């Protein structure tokens, strides 16, 4: 797939002691749902600002839709929908009138079809019934929806979303995930930053991980998660005996938590069935036995050496 976003050596230095983004080489395939991950201060937001032409890089290049940014911003941005760091809304205007303002600011938008465009965008994000309510009375989740509606007023080749489900309840999150999948199925490339790793794993086809301003890894989500170590998990009323025997059998990093015992899944010639049989022969009562696949969160922590924070 061709790259909708491509950076080479993209760098942003604010001063001698603050290097926000360091030599970023990023490739976002066309048609992908691309998750952009990183702990606090990793450079995600700075990268997005450079991609959208809001700030200029210190060095390196960024191409969006095949054109250089920020130089080609006038050509590129009308083809891009963006929701970055929360929507900027007029609180005294209704949701409907906010979208009319956004649409009116687009010189390529046909005013004759504006009413239908606004109504369709509101309905897509579930705000049709609240269109006449002033934005200042919207909840945080409703404001997020309205910002997303603004990004969807026109068909877009690329949608850039920063924490798109922030403030939404579980049902709202499911609806936004369904909408993102629908947009991707229609051919829109979606680039989203989120602190919800489970959400990224459910939604994204590709992912990039940032840490301390540098790209740690990028590629298909399945490939990244597969790089994490799977865990052997045993549920038993005899955890102490299970821990002892698993260690004797060569299982490493064995940990007991109540009646649940976990350890690094064995590799090579070790058969899981043989481990299970050995536990039973030794009198360990096994209620459940299996291998748990490494999650994206496991892979993330292994790659960055730290937990995840919301900002960045």
Q: What is the pLDDT of residue 299?
A: 67
Q: When comparing pLDDT for 297 and 46, which is higher?
A: 46
Asked whether the beta carbons of 45 and 85 are under 8 A apart, the reply is yes
Q: What is the pLDDT of residue 312?
A: 37
Asked whether the beta carbons of 198 and 297 are under 8 A apart, the reply is yes
pLDDT at 172 over 90: no
- The residues near 7 (Cβ < 8 Å, ≥ 6 apart) are 24, 25, 26, 47, 51, 60, 61, 62, 63
> pLDDT tens digits for 202-234?
889 999 988 889 998 899 987 776 656 678 899
Q: What is the pLDDT of residue 296?
A: 67
Q: When comparing pLDDT for 213 and 294, which is higher?
A: 213
pLDDT at 310 over 60: no
Of the candidates 6, 34, 9, 19, which has an alpha carbon nearest to the alpha carbon of residue 183? Answer: 34
pLDDT at 308 over 70: no
What's the CA gap between 131 and 119, in Å, rounded? 8
What's the CA gap between 194 and 161, in Å, rounded? 9
Asked whether the beta carbons of 42 and 312 are under 8 A apart, the reply is yes
Q: What is the mean pLDDT of residues 51-74?
A: 95
Q: When comparing pLDDT for 224 and 88, which is higher?
A: 88
Q: What one-character-per-residue DSSP string does 52-120 give?
A: TTSS--SEEEEEETTEETTTTHHHHGGGEEEE-SS----TTSBHHHHHHHHHHT-TTS-GGGHHHHHHH
pTM above 0.85, yes or no: no
> pLDDT tens digits for 111-120?
999 999 999 9
Asked whether the beta carbons of 50 and 10 are under 8 A apart, the reply is yes
Q: From residue 198, give the alpha-carbon distance in Å to each of 39, 81, 182.
A: 15, 24, 19
Q: What is the mean pLDDT of residues 162-181?
A: 81
Determine which of 11-25, 142-156, 283-297 has the lowest per-residue pLDDT on average.
283-297
The highest-confidence range among 3-12, 187-196, 271-280, by mean pLDDT, is: 3-12
Of the candidates 297, 293, 88, 82, which has an alpha carbon nearest to the alpha carbon of residue 195? Answer: 297
H or E element: which one contains 281?
helix 272-281
Q: What is the pLDDT of residue 228?
A: 60
Domains and CATH numbers, the chain: 3-226 (3.40.50.300), 231-293 (3.30.70.100)
pLDDT at 17 over 60: yes
What's the CA gap between 175 and 179, in Å, rounded? 6
> pLDDT tens digits for 276-288?
999 999 999 999 9
Asked whether the beta carbons of 258 and 236 are under 8 A apart, the reply is no
């Amino acid at each position: 797939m061709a790259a909708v976003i491509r950076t080479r050596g993209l760098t942003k230095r604010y001063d001698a002691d603050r290097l926000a983004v360091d030599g970023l080489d990023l490739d976002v395939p066309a048609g992908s749902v691309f998750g952009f991950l990183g702990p606090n201060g990793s450079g995600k937001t700075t990268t997005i600002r450079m991609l959208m032409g809001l700030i200029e890089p210190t060095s390196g290049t960024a191409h969006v839709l095949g054109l250089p940014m920020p130089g080609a911003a006038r050509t590129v941005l009308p083809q891009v929908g963006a929701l970055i760091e929360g929507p900027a809304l007029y609180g005294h205007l209704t949701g409907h009138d906010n979208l009319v303002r956004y649409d009116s600011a687009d010189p390529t938008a046909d005013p004759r079809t504006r009413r239908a465009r606004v109504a369709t965008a509101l309905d897509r994000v579930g705000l049709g019934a609240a269109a006449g309510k002033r934005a200042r009375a919207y909840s945080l989740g409703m404001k997020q929806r309205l910002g997303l509606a603004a990004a969807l007023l026109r068909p877009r080749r690329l949608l850039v979303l920063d924490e798109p489900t922030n403030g939404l309840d579980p049902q709202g999150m499911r609806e936004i995930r369904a909408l993102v999948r629908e947009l991707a199925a229609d051919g829109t490339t979606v680039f989203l930053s989120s602190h919800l790793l489970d959400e990224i794993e459910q939604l994204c086809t590709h992912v990039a991980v940032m840490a301390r301003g540098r790209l740690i890894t990028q590629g298909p989500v399945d490939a990244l998660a597969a790089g994490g170590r799977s865990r052997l998990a045993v549920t038993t009323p005899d955890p102490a005996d299970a821990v002892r025997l698993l260690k004797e059998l060569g299982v490493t990093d064995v940990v007991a938590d109540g009646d649940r015992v976990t350890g690094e899944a064995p590799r090579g010639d070790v058969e899981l069935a043989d481990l299970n049989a050995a536990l039973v022969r030794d009198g360990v009562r096994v209620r459940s036995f299996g291998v748990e696949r490494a999650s994206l969160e496991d892979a993330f922590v292994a790659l960055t050496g730290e937990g995840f924070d919301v900002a960045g």
